Amino acid sequence: MIHFDRPGDHAAVLKTIAASLATIIANEEKIMSALTDLQAADTALKTEVATFLTDVATALTNAGTDPAAIEAVVTDINTEVAGLTAADPVTGTTPA
């Protein structure tokens, strides 16, 4: 703690405070950049999900009441889900 009522050189303390502030600002910039990336990924994911659900709804509508066509839609959905769950969550690739 700085006691300005005492005589002395406070340059070292002020230098430490300035360095700490620089570190805080640098970390804030990294955090804000990461937040921007996460927001973009969230938006992209929402778009993908909306497209998928729209495609499923269209496929089910086109299938009507035909059991074979409905089963084909279910098979397609299960295939998509299997591919997604097998993929690495970081890279999005399926292990060999």
Render pLDDT for 54-90 as a digit per residue (tens, 0 to 9): 999 999 999 999 999 999 999 999 998 888 788 776 6
Structural domain contains residue 47: yes
Q: What is the pTM of this model?
A: 0.59
Name the percent of the chain in helix, strand, coil, to the closest 5. Answer: 75, 0, 25
Q: Look at residue 27 and give its three-state secondary structure.
A: helix
- Which pLDDT belongs to residue 10? 73
d(CA 50, CA 78): 17
Structural domain contains residue 50: yes
Structural domain contains residue 57: yes
pLDDT tens per residue across span 7-45: 666 777 888 889 999 999 999 999 999 999 999 999 998
Structural domain contains residue 5: no
Task: Find the domain containing 21 and state its range.
Answer: 13-86
Q: How many domains does the chain have?
A: 1
Structural domain contains residue 93: no
| 40's tokens | 């973009």
Is the distance from CB of 56 to CB of 77 less than 8 angstroms?
Answer: yes
Identify the residue whose tokens are 């690739």.
93
